[in-house]
């Protein structure tokens, strides 16, 4: 979509600022219009009554030293600021949700109004199921207390300034690069917090008042498999057998987990493709004279790879040669979550602030988000190392 500012100006005069602004913002939200296709100076000249005159007031020589606030007193710049805010928000979100943030896309975001909370559950109590004879009452099923505690949430954010020079010299690319940096830094921070939980570098699982590490090599559950680098289907089978042995702590029954996602390191992405996407597999038993060929049973897994996960494993103290062999399998949405007080929110500072006078900042936009990465149930993920 290419912006023709003369046509936009005509629509602005015919349809009014509200309808024109809504149209532009909708195009940006639906990505029919890219932020890079817009110009701050051209938007100001188009969406502000007497916009060309308003832009000229950015030059102090125009009015013999009269300030911008004095010269533009009473000018309605609402449409320009609304569209500019949407442009910046779109650029922030584009960077915040980029494909590189794999784990953020593999877990659910859970809205919450609490700064850390106790999430209750009703734990089933094992009971013998006896036949109910005619005319006899149904037995009551007992319940036990069960809950997890999620960590306190934290707030993160930055301010994106739009300076006089950015509009006057039309440095739209500079404003967009700052907005993209804000989105990337916030998205990276969120991703790293989730990754550190996934790899076990940090642990915040608190179940029934007791803190546990995410990965256990012994009771109360075992969800780590050493010496199990991803080579063929037998390594996947070894990880799946751990799920078969993880029991519900109350009923003694197997945890009902259906592993559906695999996360590997970059060095093993081709191995993962071979293991999970091969049409057939061949198995030869030890000492057997013949081999058996069958359809690959692993086609129900989604496979992802992440350079960031690999680097966080190394940063946590594992050697690069060992870190590249790590991989994870399970149902990540049931294992981890991002407890979110509010998503990325962009707010505009009031006009005529002190920053306008001191720093020639015409308008500022503040982007912030608040949340916490939390382990919901570590029994739904298995970590494998080489």
Question: Cβ distance 206 to 212 under 8 Å?
Answer: yes
pLDDT digits (tens, 9 = 90+) for 41-77: 999 999 988 888 888 777 766 554 444 444 445 567 8
If you ran DSSP here, which 8-state letter would residue 60 be given? T
pLDDT band at 256 (very low <50, low <70, confident <90, very high): confident
pTM: 0.86
- The span from the CA of 386 to the CA of 379, in Å, is 21
Backbone angles phi, psi at 375, to 5 degrees: -90, 120
Question: Cβ distance 365 to 137 under 8 Å?
Answer: no
* Torsion sign, CA atoms 256, 261, 266, 268: positive
Q: Give residue 287's pLDDT.
A: 66
Instruction: Please compute the mean of the pLDDT values over residues 318-329 and round it to a whole number.
Output: 96
Query: Tokens 């608190």 appear where?
Result: 206
Q: Helix/strand/coil (H, E, C) string of 325-378?
A: CCEEEECHHHHEEEEEEEEEEEEECCCCCHHHHHHCEEEEEEEEEEEEEEECCH
Model confidence at 144: pLDDT above 90: no
Model confidence at 266: pLDDT above 90: yes
Instruction: Please compute the mean of the pLDDT values over residues 210-226 and round it to a whole number.
Output: 93
234 to each of 61, 91, 229, 298, 305, how far by Cα in Å?
A: 76, 44, 10, 11, 20
pLDDT band at 213 (very low <50, low <70, confident <90, very high): very high
Model confidence at 376: pLDDT above 80: yes
Strands 336-348 and 361-375: antiparallel
Backbone angles phi, psi at 23, to 5 degrees: -65, -45
Ranked by mean pLDDT, the top range of 244-253, 283-292, 361-370 is 361-370
Please list, in sequence order, all residues whose beta carbon lies within 8 angstroms of the beta carbon of residue 90, skipping any fewer than 6 positions away. 28, 29, 31, 35
Model confidence at 38: pLDDT above 70: yes
- The span from the CA of 338 to the CA of 332, in Å, is 11
Structure tokens belonging to residue 78: 């609402």
Coil/strand/helix, residue 128: coil
Nearest CA-CA partner of 377 in 123, 207, 211: 207
Residue 280's Cβ-count burial label (10 Å; 0-12, 13-18, 19+) is exposed
Structure tokens belonging to residue 286: 């030890």
Higher pLDDT, 292 or 46: 46
pLDDT band at 277 (very low <50, low <70, confident <90, very high): confident
Q: Give residue 74's pLDDT.
A: 55
CA dihedral 129, 133, 137, 139 (to 10 degrees): -10
Range of weakest confidence among 23-27, 141-145, 316-320 = 141-145
Residue 329's Cβ-count burial label (10 Å; 0-12, 13-18, 19+) is buried
Instruction: Please compute the mean of the pLDDT values over residues 5-16 and round it to a whole number.
Output: 88
Contacts 24+ apart (CB under 8 A), 123-126: 123/249, 123/250, 124/248, 124/250, 124/251, 125/250, 125/251, 126/250, 126/251, 126/252, 126/253
pLDDT band at 146 (very low <50, low <70, confident <90, very high): confident
pLDDT digits (tens, 9 = 90+) for 101-115: 999 999 999 999 999
**Other beta carbons within 10 Å of 177:** 13
- The span from the CA of 161 to the CA of 175, in Å, is 8
Model confidence at 310: pLDDT above 90: yes
pLDDT digits (tens, 9 = 90+) for 167-202: 888 889 999 999 999 999 999 999 999 999 999 999
Average pLDDT, the chain: 87
């Amino acid at each position: 979509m290419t912006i023709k500012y003369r046509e936009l100006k005509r629509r602005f005069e015919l349809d009014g600022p509200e309808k024109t602004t809504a149209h532009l913002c909708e195009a940006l939200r639906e990505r029919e219009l890219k932020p890079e296709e817009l110009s701050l100076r051209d938007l100001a000249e188009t969406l502000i009554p007497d916009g060309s005159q308003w832009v000229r007031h950015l030059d102090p020589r125009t009015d013999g030293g009269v300030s911008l606030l004095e010269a533009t007193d009473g000018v309605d710049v609402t449409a320009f600021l609304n569209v500019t805010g949407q442009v910046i928000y779109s650029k922030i979100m584009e960077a915040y949700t980029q494909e590189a943030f794999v784990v953020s896309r593999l877990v659910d975001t859970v809205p919450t109004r609490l700064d850390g909370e106790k999430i209750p559950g009703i734990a089933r109590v094992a009971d013998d199921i006896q036949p109910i004879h005619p005319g006899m009452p149904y037995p009551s099923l007992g319940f036990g207390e069960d809950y997890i505690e999620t960590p306190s949430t934290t707030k993160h954010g930055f301010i994106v300034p739009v300076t006089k020079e950015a509009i006057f010299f039309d440095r739209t690319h500079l404003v967009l690069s700052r907005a993209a940096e804000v989105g990337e830094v916030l998205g990276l921070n969120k991703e790293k917090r989730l990754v550190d939980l996934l790899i076990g570098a940090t642990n915040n699982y608190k179940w029934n008042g007791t803190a546990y590490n995410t990965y256990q090599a012994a009771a109360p559950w075992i969800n780590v498999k050493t010496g199990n680098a991803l080579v063929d289907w037998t390594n996947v089978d070894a990880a799946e057998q751990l799920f078969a042995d993880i029991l519900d702590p109350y009923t003694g029954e197997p945890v009902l987990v259906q592993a559906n996602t695999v996360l590997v390191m970059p060095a093993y992405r081709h191995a993962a493709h071979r293991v999970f996407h091969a049409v057939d597999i061949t198995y030869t038993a030890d000492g057997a004279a013949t081999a058996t060929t069958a359809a690959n049973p692993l086609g129900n897994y989604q496979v992802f790879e992440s350079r960031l996960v690999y680097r966080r494993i190394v940063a946590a103290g594992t050697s690069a040669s060992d870190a590249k062999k790590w991989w994870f399998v399970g149902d990540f949405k049931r294992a981890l979550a991002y407890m979110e007080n509010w998503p990325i929110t962009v707010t505009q500072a009031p006009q005529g602030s002190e920053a306008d006078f001191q720093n020639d900042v015409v308008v500022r936009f503040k982007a912030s988000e608040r949340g916490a990465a939390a382990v919901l149930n570590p029994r739904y993920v298995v970590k494998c190392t080489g």
